[in-house]
Amino acid sequence: MSSAYLQCIEETCRRRQDSRKDAHSCAFCGGLLEVKYDFDQFDPEQLRHAWHQRRLSGEPIDRSGVWRFRELIPFVEPGARIVSLSEGSTPLVGTRRAGWWAGPVHLTIKHQGNNPTGSFKDLGMTACITRADSRGIRMVACASTGNTSSSMAAYAARAGIKALLFVPYRQISSAKLAQALDFGALVVEVGDTFDEAFRLLREIAPELGLYLVNSINPFRIEGQKTIVAEMLEQRAWRPPDYIVVPGGNLGNASAVGKGLWELKDLGFIEKVPQVVVVQAAGANPFYQTLRAGSSELMPVEHPSTEATAIRIGHPANWKKARRVLDWTGGFCESVTDAEIFEAKTVLAEDGVGCEPASAATVAGVRKLVRAGKIERHADLVCVLTGNQLKDTEYIMRHRSEDQESHQRLRVEPDLDSLRRALERALTSPVESR
Ligand SMILES: *Cc1c(COP(=O)(O)O)cnc(C)c1O
Ligand SMILES: [Zn+2]
């Protein structure tokens, strides 16, 4: 059997950690930890076949898009209960207008909004709540811009574990808050930003003995990395040129990179796609840090963007994400809220809905093609991280008077009025958006 251990990511340290403790940072230098494996010898061809076969199985562990690839995440002790809600197995869909608008490029969407709680966070949460549960942990906590909360609340409920959430006051969408409450979590609204809520949680966690499930938890990354196995399988194991993700706390970028790296190491792919991270201009510390070539993070003290899922000024995983860009020859771009809105509008014209943070990816591609950093007709996968219904306030807030008057009719309930209103609406040249 393959075996797992935790190791510090700092080049100057790289020390293995005491496997009986699930610490959040290195006991020696305070660096970030990652899960490492002594993998068994794999025959990639055989495993691909086994993974494919599992799609036909009715077993919950095989139906999950995370646990179907369990050979890639062998940290679960034999006999441990798997806490799953049948996450993953999300669609890969082509685009027409969005790819044309952004390039032209061959743009495919990996839609993580089709997860049990509506975001990619579910992939990480099934892994990390399974871990917590197997360690006998009875309470988990996180700070969140919203989606981690919804997801943690659901998986904790599933496992019968208490959930404690720290969210910035009035800074998360009502849909995300409602989900967390619905799943029975205890919600603490504290601070004006995610960074503030997270800092307070980290400070109080040791006192209360809290098990944190933020993306600094290395087991979250393990679940999230399976997205690349699933995406490659859906593409008959032909890697794209680029994989594009939005960047907030940078856990997702770290996970995508780790997944790619391991699949290459294990002989599943030869070419590794370049990983591209896109941040919002008002919350782009990673972009600024890389541009300045700084070896220290240049945080953004007052992050601001309507894409609340990526409104983060001190991304905890920035060193892991930087390593991923180095490994894959990737880069980071920054886009304005106006550009995000435009991208979201174009995606909607393809019938693809998503959260604003997700649309940042497509906006970033357009900018990079125009700057000549991504070649026209490149083969790209943009990861749309969250469901359209996560932030309907955003959609309604952005509707112009003109759109409203063309798209919404308030009609008296009689046939004459109805006929008149429809005649007018259906014959006037409808300005589509
Ligand atoms: C969490 C989240 C992000 C940011 O992911 P990180 O791993 O924090 O970089 C982006 N979009 C959505 C919808 C999210 O929920
Ligand atoms: Zn260390």
The preferred substitution site among 111, 147, 382 for testing ligand 1, maximizing ligand atoms within 8 Å of CB, is: 147
Q: Same domain for 206 and 258? A: no
Q: Same domain for 106 and 140? A: no
Q: Same domain for 234 and 340? A: yes
- The domain boundary residue, chosen from 216, 240, 255: 216
Q: Same domain for 202 and 296? A: no
**Shortest-distance Cα residue to atom 14 of ligand 1:** 309
Q: Same domain for 125 and 150? A: yes
Ligand 1 binding pocket includes 364 (Cβ within 6 Å): no
Q: How far is Cα 205 from Cα 189, in angstroms, rounded to an integer?
A: 16
In a domain, 202, yes or no: yes
Q: Same domain for 47 and 157? A: yes
**Distance of CA 365 from the midpoint of ligand 2 (Å):** 36
Within 167-270, residue ranges assigned H as helices are: 174-182, 194-208, 218-234, 251-265
What is the CATH number for 271?
3.40.50.1100
- Give the number of the ligand closest to the Cα of residue 34: 2
Ramachandran quadrant class, 122 (left: phi over 0; alpha: psi -120 to 50; beta: rest): alpha
- The domain boundary residue, chosen from 160, 186, 216: 216
* Residue spans of beta strands (DSSP E) within 361-402: 379-384
In a domain, 281, yes or no: yes
- Which three-class secondary structure state does DSSP give residue 339? helix
Sequential DSSP letters for 313-334: SS-TTHHHHHHHHHHHT-EEEE
Please, what's the largest Cα pairwise distance for the chain? Answer: 78
In a domain, 432, yes or no: no
Q: Same domain for 324 and 279? A: yes
Q: Same domain for 135 and 231? A: no
The reported pLDDT for the residue numbered 377 is: 97
**Shortest-distance Cα residue to atom 13 of ligand 1:** 386
Q: Same domain for 130 and 259? A: no
Phi, psi of 414 (to 5 degrees): -140, 155
The reported pLDDT for the residue numbered 119 is: 98
Ligand 1, closest atom to CA 147? 15
Q: Same domain for 57 and 171? A: yes
Selection from 282, 284, 93, 303 nearest residue 193 by Cα: 303
Number of domains within the chain: 4
2: containing domain: 1-38
Ligand 1 binding pocket includes 247 (Cβ within 6 Å): yes
The reported pLDDT for the residue numbered 209 is: 86
| Per-residue tokens: 147 | 């989606």
- Which three-class secondary structure state does DSSP give residue 275? strand
Q: Same domain for 170 and 63? A: yes
- Bridge partner residues of 246 (DSSP): 278
Per-residue pLDDT of the chain (433 residues), as tens digits, is 678 999 999 999 999 998 777 788 999 999 999 999 998 888 999 999 999 999 999 999 999 999 999 999 999 988 899 999 999 999 999 999 999 999 999 999 999 999 999 999 999 999 999 999 999 999 999 999 899 999 999 999 999 999 999 999 988 889 999 999 999 999 999 999 888 999 999 999 989 989 999 989 999 999 999 999 999 999 999 999 999 999 999 999 999 999 999 999 999 999 999 999 999 999 999 999 999 999 999 999 999 999 999 999 999 999 999 999 999 999 999 999 999 999 999 999 999 999 999 999 999 999 999 999 999 999 999 999 999 999 999 999 999 999 898 899 999 999 999 999 999 888 866 555 4
- CA torsion 285-213-260-81 (nearest 10°) is -170
In a domain, 433, yes or no: no
**Residue with the two structure tokens 């209103």:** 421
Q: Same domain for 100 and 4? A: no
In a domain, 200, yes or no: yes
Phi, psi of 419 (to 5 degrees): -60, -45
The reported pLDDT for the residue numbered 215 is: 85
In a domain, 130, yes or no: yes
- The domain boundary residue, chosen from 162, 185, 216: 216
